[in-house]
Amino acid sequence: MKISGAQMVIEALIAENVDTVFGYPGGAIMNIYDEIYKQNSFKHILTRHEQAAVHAAEGYAKVSGKVGVAMITSGPGFTNAVTGLADAYMDSVPLVVISGQVPMSLIGTDAFQEIDAVGISRSCTKHNYLVTDAKDLPRVLKEAFYIASSGRPGPVHVDIPKDITAQIEVFDYSTPIHLETYKPTIKGNVRQIKKAVMAIKEAKRPLFYIGGGAINSNAAQEVREFVKMTGIPAVETFMARGTLRYDDPLLISMPGMHGSYAANMAMSETDLMISLGARFDDRVTGKLSEFAKHAKIIHVDVDPASISKIVKVDYPIVGDLRHVVKNMMEIASSVIEKERYEPWLESVEHFDKLHPLSYKEDSDKLKPQWVIQRVGELLGECANITTDVGQHQMWTAQFYPFSRPRQLISSGGLGTMGFGFPAAIGVKVADFERVSINITGDGSILMNIQELMTAVEKKIPVINIILNNNFLGMVRQWQTLFYDKRHSETDLSMQPDFVMLAKAFGGIGYVVHTKEEFDAALNDAVEKNIVAMIDVRIDRFENVMPMVPSGGSLFNMMLEYKEK
């Protein structure tokens, strides 16, 4: 059939079974928005800022495993969205972001709201397109969804000039995808897998190092079975929390800059690191010359460019983690002897007993760690937890009892303040039955506070728990520890009344100073099931500990901060 380019976009979204689009209209994308008005196959959620639209699409994608979709207009509409694209690129989130562009005849003339969108997005997308003929739209959109969701997932940007959305051409979405230079490896090399399993068999101190790829590849169940079958202890990166249950006896905790003592010591003492979908991020490795220096390394990853990119590995295996782990289990089942690793497990248990992950209670001040633990006690598996970025993010990773994959939704690689609230909206849209909690700070929450209006208007009940210390907490912590307490521009003593702010947008607000008040506020917010902000006044100078100083060795942790 012959239809306009704008209609083609709608038909492609329907063909891809898209049920929700997040976006913000403008002149260059108006033809597509006119077609959105005419259809009833999917819902559109109008955010109040383009960055928030992309973050909401990220939250939707991360919790559902589906491709998230966002639409924005040209010029500032696109530049506002770049932070979301970069965030999704760093965290391997499958997105298709469609932007409007000025008409073809105006490209390169500095026209009103013109920007080189594909030039800007090239470095922060898995792939991007500028569509110059409506005949190409069906192919481009089909490829975009395929590229976004296959191999190592990521955001794909499609830029469409306004005159192309008005062109009338034949729409045929049945043509098979053929990308000569893009063929992700799914099955791992059997010879390499056998070598890796034999290395596990011979190791005395093996350690699973589980990364976000375990979540992205939907391999959590297989990883759980593999860990249990081998009896080998495991650490999870921040992006992998929930791959193993919090109460799994073989789960040590999270490694890295704010990892537990036991996890970091295990990383330092292992003789064989089994990396499953991790990218050896600098926040995990610390000083590279001292990282796992006694260990051989197995690295399984679907992205060949990630293998040996940062740390040289001994057993590289390119392939989809779910497939590779299944193959490894088939071989390992007949050769692995759990008893071999028992002395190693005792050593790991000793590390944990020596310096367990803990905090000191204070009768006069609410501790943020207690707040997070309490949310876990009251809601546990019934909640999806989104965070912003800062101290609250690390406390959440340390102290929330994650029991399933895709339960923690956060900004990992880019570390984007303002991510949490719009992402929590997308999370709630994708998983409406569970409570959507955004754990945030009084700095982060203000960065996309306008989305209170989106959540209230669309009746998306997100509960924002603000761990309010009137500081840019993590920056203040670094200034305290490494800059002789010169708290330069981190004091946020002047803040809005968050209770009144919530009410002004049509939600509900609470201010909390005690444990009893927190319980009452959270229970009331859950029961009322409306957009809520819980302003929790915490100890202003609480630090995230342990801490590995930037560029330091994992085994050289600061376990606590003592006033000089």
Active-site residue (options: 42, 104, 113, 229) = 113
CA 266 centroid distance within chain:
25
- In angstroms, the CA 475 to CA 473 distance is 6
Distances (CA, A) of 311 to 57, 481, 515, 551: 32, 29, 45, 15
Active-site residue (options: 11, 35, 50, 222) = 50
b/e per residue 354-389 (b: at least 16 CB within 10 A): ebebebeeeeeebbbbbbbbbbbeebeeebbbbbbb
In the residue annotation, 113 being an active-site residue is answered as: yes
Is the Cβ–Cβ distance between 168 and 302 less than 8 Å? no
Give the chain's count of helices (H) and strands (E).
21, 20
Active-site residue (options: 254, 265, 474, 557) = 474
In the residue annotation, 474 being an active-site residue is answered as: yes
168-170 and 2-4: which strand pairing? antiparallel
> What is the identity of the amino acid at 47?
T
In the residue annotation, 236 being an active-site residue is answered as: no
Q: Where are the alpha helices (DSSP H) in 358-508?
A: 368-378, 391-399, 420-430, 451-457, 473-482, 498-505
Residue 94, preceding bond cis, omega within 30 degrees?
no
Active-site residue (options: 39, 112, 330, 338) = 112
Strands in 43-46's sheet, in edge-to-edge order, are 43-46, 20-23, 68-72, 95-101, 155-161, 127-130
- In angstroms, the CA 321 to CA 285 distance is 21
Q: What are phi and psi of 507, to 5 degrees?
A: -100, -160
Listed in sequence order, the residues at least 6 apart from 203 whose beta carbon sits closer than 8 Å to its beta carbon are: 271, 272, 296
Beta bridge partners of 195: none
In the residue annotation, 391 being an active-site residue is answered as: no
Active-site residue (options: 162, 296, 367, 428) = 162
Listed in sequence order, the residues at least 6 apart from 448 whose beta carbon sits closer than 8 Å to its beta carbon are: 49, 51, 52, 55, 418, 419, 421, 422
In the residue annotation, 267 being an active-site residue is answered as: no
Please identify which residue in the block is written with the tokens 């006044």: 537
Residues annotated as catalytic are 50, 112-113, 162, 474
